[in-house]
Amino acid sequence: MIHRNAESYRVEVKRFYLPFEVTVNCPKCGKPCTEDLRRNYLSYPTIGGIADLSVECPECVHFWNVKCRFDVTLTLVE
């Protein structure tokens, strides 16, 4: 049995890299922009909370933040 003791909690990791790519359209020029979380990390993310991910548009060099929910799953396998 697994019991989660807190809905959200901060990860004490300054540079938390993840094997995900996030693609969003630039709000300024409309081009699709991809951030690779294997290179662009989350800083002290809150598991079970909302994380700000900074995105840079390579087309018009616009920077902005997108919000994403960050969560983990723990599953017994034996």
* Interface with Zn ion, residue 26, by CB under 5 A: yes
* Interface with Zn ion, residue 29, by CB under 5 A: yes
Residue 65 and residue 24 in contact, taking contact as beta carbons nearer than 8 Å: no
* Interface with Zn ion, residue 59, by CB under 5 A: yes
Would you say 26 or 53 has its CB closer to Zn ion? 26
Quote the least distance from Cβ 56 to Zn ion, whole Å: 9
Among 10, 13, 25, 28, binds Zn ion (CB under 5 A): 28
Residue 14 CB contacts under 8 Å (≥ 6 apart), including other chains: 43, 44
Closest CA to 66 of 30, 31, 27, 39: 27
Q: What whole-number distance in Å separates Cα of residue 1 and Cα of residue 9? A: 20
User: Where on the chain is the footprint of Zn ion (CB under 5 A)?
Assistant: 26, 28-29, 57, 59-60, 62
